[in-house]
Chains A and B, each alone.
Chain A
C-alpha cells in the first residue's frame, strides 16, 4: 500500500435484533476507502443504511462483523476510555442539529476538544482564533448559541469539529437544518477546507446538491453500495446533473 488510507471499511455488516428474535440487517457487507485529502459523499434514501454506516464510522455503534479502520486504528476493537479518546482526537463531527452546548459561548464550544486534551489556554486561544477566522465566525465568538443564526451555529460546530485537526471530518446531513443560502456557504467552506487545507471529509446526505460538492459519491441502497460516481474533471454544476441523473435511475 503506497499510502495509508484515512478510512478503510472491510465487509461491514450490521444486524439489529437478538438471535431468535425478529432480525433486521441494515448493512450487508460494505467495503470502501477514503484517501487522505479526499472529499467523499455517501448518498442514500431514508432506510438505506447510511445513518448506521456513519454511526459505525464515528464509533458510536459497533458493526456485527467486518473491520473499520480510521487512520490506522481498528475502531471496532476500541472500548471505554480509549474509544472516547480516539473520538476526541481523531474524529471531527458536524451534525444536522448542531449539537452545541447552550450553556457555553461559541468560543468555549470550539475550545472544548482542546480543553479535553489539556492544551494550554494560550495555544487553545490561538487555535480557536485561527479556525474561527477560516470559517468566518470571528465576530460571534462570544455569543451564546441561542443568540446566533442556524448557519452560524453550524459554522461554530464545524470549527469545533476541526479545531483539534482530526484525521477526518464526518458530516451527518450538516445542511439539513439550514436555509439554502447558509447551506451553500457552508458547503463552499467545506470545499475550501478540503482544497486548501487538505482536510479529509466524509459527508453523508440524501441531498444531491450537498453531495455534488464531493469528489466521489457512493450510493447506498438496502445496505449495500450500489454505485460509485467520480467527479473527475467536470465542474460542480455538471457533477450535480450527473448525480441527479444517477438518482433518477438508481432509485428505481
Chain B
C-alpha cells in the first residue's frame, strides 16, 4: 500500500522529478565525459606530446570533479528530500512505521540514483561522441586514442555514483527518522538574523583579498614554484573567494537596503532580502562555482589559445608561406588565386654547390622578408620584417634561414657562400638559374588545404624539401604544430564544456532545491496584490545575481590564471573576446533555463 502511495507521489510531481532526473543524468554524463579522457592514458600520452605534468593535472581535475559531484549529489538529494518530506511525514502520521519509511526512502534514493547513472552513462557516450567529433572536425584535430565508449570510464563512473547514492540514501533515511513529524510537515527555511560585527566583516574581506592575491601570485610564479603552484593557487583562491563573498556581498546588500530611495520601490526590498538571505547560505557554493567557472572558462580560453596559435607558430618558422621553384604558369595562377594572398615576389637565384647568387636589382625592387625574433625576458616574440637590399648584401650569412627557405636544399647551412650582384655580374655567376616565386597568406588556416596541395606538387618535384621536415615549408610546420597543439585545444574545449555544464547544473540544483520553500512567499506576494510581471522581475534579478557573482569572480580568476600558460603560449591574452563570448552565451542559456524552471516551481498557481 505504501509503495503504491509513494509511486503516486512521484506521479503527482512528475515535473519536479523530471528536473531532478535530468539533472542527475547530466551530472553522471559529464562525469563520464571527463573520465573518458582522464582514465585514457594512451590518449593523454598521444595528444599532449608526453608532457610530464599531464597525469598530475588530470588527477587534480578528477579529484576536483569528484568533490563537485559530491556536492552536486548532496544538493540533488536535498531537492529530492524537500519534495518527499511532506508525503513521507503524512504516511508517518497515518501510522506507517519509521523503519518502513526509512526503507522506502532508501529504495527510492538508490533506484533514482542508479537509473539516472545508467541513463547518464549512455547519454554520456553519445555526448562524448558528438562533442568529440565536433571538436575534431572544427579544430582539425584527429585524435588517435580517443574513444567515446571507454570501459574503464564506465566502470569508474558507475562505481563512484553508486557509492555516492548509497551514502545519500543512508543520510536521507536517517534524516527522515531523526526529524520529528511536525517539523517535517511544516519545515520552512526561516531566515534567522545573523549579526556580524563590522570588524569581523572587514577582517574577512581583507583575508579574502590577501588569499586571492597569494593565489594569483602563485600562478604567475609557475616556473619558480613548479607544480606546487597549482594546489597552492586552488586552495588560496577557494578560501579567498569564500571569505570575499561572505564579507562583501552581504555588506553591499545592507548598503543598498539602507538607501531607502532605491530599496523603497516596488519589490526591491524583498528582492534584496531574498538575495542576502540566499547569499548567506550560498557562500560556499558560490565560491566553488566561481572556481569551476574559472576552470571551465580557462580551459576553453587556453584551448582556443592553442588553436589560434598553430598558424602563427607555423608562420613564424618561415619567411614565406609558399615558395615555388620554376613553377608552371598554371601552378602560379593557382597560388595567386589563394584567398588573402599577398607579398608575392619573383626572384632569380643562381645556385651552385659553393655559391648562391642574388640579383641586387630584384631585391631592391622587392625586398626580402625575414623573421625577427625579439627576446623579452623569458618569452620570445617573432615578427616578419622587410629587409633592405643594402642590409642584406652587407651580411647575407646572418639570414641563412631566409636564404635556405628559398632554395630546394639547405645550401647555405651546408657551407655555400652568398653574393648579391648587379645585372651584369649575375649573368656570369656560377650555377644553374632558378626562378623562385614567394607568397604570403593572411589566413593560413583557411588556406591550409589548397596550400598543402600546392606544396605537395613542389615536394614531388624536389624531394629534398620533404626531407627537411618542419623547416621545409609552412605547410609542413603547420602539420607538426597542429598535431601537437590540437590535442591541447581539444582537451581544453572538451573539459571546458564539461566543467561549464557541471557548474551551471550545480548552481541550478542549489537554486531549485530551495524553490519549494519560496513558493509560499510568492503566493503571499500575489495575494497582497503584486503584479505577475513584478514577481517575475524579482525572481530574475535574484537569480541573475546568483549567477553573475561567481561569474564575475570567475572571470577575474581566469585573467590571472592565464599566467600559468605563459610558457606554453606565445600570448595567452590574445583573442579573449571569442572564448569569453562563447562561454558567456552558454552561461546565459543556463541562466534562462534555471529561471524558467524556477518560475515553473515557484509561480505554480494551484497546489
- Residues of chain A within 8 A of B274, CB atoms compared: 103
CB pair B277 A103 closer than 8 Å: yes
Report the interface size for chain B: residues with CB under 8 A from the other chain: 29
- In whole angstroms, what is the CA distance A144 to B265 when docked? 20
- Residues of chain A within 8 A of B365, CB atoms compared: none
Given contacts A86-B529, A102-B190, A103-B521, contact A116 B266 (CB under 8 A): yes
Kindly specify which of A41-49, A106-114, A224-232 makes contact with the partner chain: A106-114
Q: Is A121 an interface residue (CB 8 A)?
A: yes
- In whole angstroms, what is the CA distance A215 to B532 when docked? 37
Given contacts A87-B528, A102-B190, A102-B191, contact A81 B265 (CB under 8 A): no
Cβ distance A150 to chain B, nearest Cβ, rounded Å: 14
A-B contact pairs, 27 of them (CB 8 A): A58-B527, A81-B532, A81-B533, A84-B529, A84-B531, A84-B532, A85-B529, A86-B529, A87-B528, A87-B529, A99-B528, A101-B273, A101-B521, A102-B190, A102-B191, A103-B521, A112-B269, A115-B268, A115-B269, A116-B267, A118-B265, A118-B266, A120-B264, A124-B264, A144-B193, A146-B192, A160-B528
Name which of A80, A87, A124, A160 has the most chain B CB atoms within 10 A of its CB.
Answer: A87
A residues near B (Cβ < 8 Å) are: 58, 60, 80-81, 84-89, 91, 93, 95, 99-104, 108, 111-116, 118-121, 124-125, 144, 146-147, 160
CB pair B528 A85 closer than 8 Å: no
Q: Is B428 an interface residue (CB 8 A)?
A: no
- In whole angstroms, what is the CA distance A220 to B525 when docked? 29
CB pair B527 A99 closer than 8 Å: yes
- Residues of chain A within 8 A of B190, CB atoms compared: 102, 146
CB pair B193 A103 closer than 8 Å: no
Cβ distance A22 to chain B, nearest Cβ, rounded Å: 18
A88: nearest chain-B partner, CB-CB: B529
Q: Is B150 an interface residue (CB 8 A)?
A: no
Q: Is B467 an interface residue (CB 8 A)?
A: no
Cβ distance B199 to chain A, nearest Cβ, rounded Å: 22
7 A-B pairs closest in CB distance:
A88-B529, A87-B529, A121-B260, A103-B273, A121-B264, A84-B531, A99-B524
- Residues of chain A within 8 A of B269, CB atoms compared: 104, 108, 111-112, 115
Name which of A108, A120, A160 has the most chain B CB atoms within 10 A of its CB.
Answer: A108
- The contact string, 1 if C-beta is below 8 Å from chain A, for chain B 220-262, is 0000000000000000000000000000000000000000110
Q: Is B530 an interface residue (CB 8 A)?
A: yes
Point out the residue from A99, A104, A147 that lies within 8 Å of B273, measured CB to CB: A104
A90: nearest chain-B partner, CB-CB: B529
- In whole angstroms, what is the CA distance A119 to B269 when docked? 13
Point out the residue from B193, B268, B270, B534 that lies within 8 Å of A147, measured CB to CB: B193
- In whole angstroms, what is the CA distance A104 to B269 when docked? 8
- In whole angstroms, what is the CA distance A104 to B265 when docked? 15
Name 20 extra pairs, CB < 8 A, besides A99-B527, A99-B528, A103-B270. Answer: A58-B527, A81-B531, A81-B533, A84-B526, A84-B530, A84-B531, A87-B529, A101-B273, A101-B521, A102-B188, A103-B191, A108-B270, A108-B273, A112-B270, A112-B528, A115-B265, A115-B266, A115-B269, A116-B266, A120-B261
Given contacts A102-B188, A103-B273, A144-B191, contact A85 B527 (CB under 8 A): no
Cβ distance B505 to chain A, nearest Cβ, rounded Å: 26
- In whole angstroms, what is the CA distance A160 to B260 when docked? 18
- Residues of chain B within 8 A of A81, CB atoms compared: 531-533
B residues near A (Cβ < 8 Å) are: 188, 190-193, 260-261, 264-270, 273-274, 277, 521, 524-534
- Residues of chain B within 8 A of A99, CB atoms compared: 524, 527-528
- Residues of chain A within 8 A of B524, CB atoms compared: 99-101
- In whole angstroms, what is the CA distance A80 to B532 when docked? 8
- Residues of chain B within 8 A of A58, CB atoms compared: 527
CB pair B531 A85 closer than 8 Å: yes
- Residues of chain A within 8 A of B267, CB atoms compared: 115-116
Cβ distance A132 to chain B, nearest Cβ, rounded Å: 17
Point out the residue from B273, B529, B532 that lies within 8 Å of A116, measured CB to CB: B529
CB pair A121 B261 closer than 8 Å: yes
- Residues of chain A within 8 A of B270, CB atoms compared: 101, 103-104, 108, 112
- Residues of chain B within 8 A of A84, CB atoms compared: 526, 529-532
- Residues of chain B within 8 A of A104, CB atoms compared: 269-270, 273
A89: nearest chain-B partner, CB-CB: B529
- In whole angstroms, what is the CA distance A87 to B521 when docked? 17
Cβ distance A105 to chain B, nearest Cβ, rounded Å: 9
- Residues of chain B within 8 A of A147, CB atoms compared: 193
A95: nearest chain-B partner, CB-CB: B527
B524: nearest chain-A partner, CB-CB: A99
Cβ distance B279 to chain A, nearest Cβ, rounded Å: 12
- Residues of chain B within 8 A of A121, CB atoms compared: 260-261, 264
- Residues of chain B within 8 A of A102, CB atoms compared: 188, 190-191, 521
- Residues of chain A within 8 A of B527, CB atoms compared: 58, 60, 87, 93, 95, 99
A104: nearest chain-B partner, CB-CB: B273
- In whole angstroms, what is the CA distance A114 to B527 when docked? 15
Cβ distance A214 to chain B, nearest Cβ, rounded Å: 23
Cβ distance A95 to chain B, nearest Cβ, rounded Å: 8
- In whole angstroms, what is the CA distance A151 to B273 when docked? 24
CB pair A115 B530 closer than 8 Å: no
- In whole angstroms, what is the CA distance A85 to B532 when docked? 10
Cβ distance A107 to chain B, nearest Cβ, rounded Å: 10
- Residues of chain B within 8 A of A95, CB atoms compared: 527
Cβ distance A34 to chain B, nearest Cβ, rounded Å: 20
- Residues of chain B within 8 A of A86, CB atoms compared: 529
- In whole angstroms, what is the CA distance A60 to B529 when docked? 10
Cβ distance B511 to chain A, nearest Cβ, rounded Å: 15
Name which of B261, B277, B529 has the most chain A CB atoms within 10 A of its CB.
Answer: B529
- Residues of chain B within 8 A of A124, CB atoms compared: 264
Cβ distance B545 to chain A, nearest Cβ, rounded Å: 14
- Residues of chain B within 8 A of A89, CB atoms compared: 529
Cβ distance B273 to chain A, nearest Cβ, rounded Å: 4
- In whole angstroms, what is the CA distance A3 to B521 when docked? 38
- In whole angstroms, what is the CA distance A86 to B530 when docked? 10
- Residues of chain B within 8 A of A91, CB atoms compared: 529
- Residues of chain A within 8 A of B265, CB atoms compared: 115, 118
- In whole angstroms, what is the CA distance A146 to B192 when docked? 7
- In whole angstroms, what is the CA distance A86 to B529 when docked? 7
Name which of A81, A112, A124 has the most chain B CB atoms within 10 A of its CB.
Answer: A112
- Residues of chain B within 8 A of A113, CB atoms compared: 528-529
- In whole angstroms, what is the CA distance A99 to B525 when docked? 9
- Residues of chain B within 8 A of A116, CB atoms compared: 266-267, 528-530, 534
- In whole angstroms, what is the CA distance A130 to B534 when docked? 28
- In whole angstroms, what is the CA distance A99 to B524 when docked? 6
Name which of A95, A116, A119, A125 has the most chain B CB atoms within 10 A of its CB.
Answer: A116
- In whole angstroms, what is the CA distance A84 to B191 when docked? 27
Cβ distance A112 to chain B, nearest Cβ, rounded Å: 7
Cβ distance B30 to chain A, nearest Cβ, rounded Å: 33
- Residues of chain B within 8 A of A146, CB atoms compared: 190-192
- Residues of chain B within 8 A of A115, CB atoms compared: 264-269
- In whole angstroms, what is the CA distance A50 to B297 when docked? 59
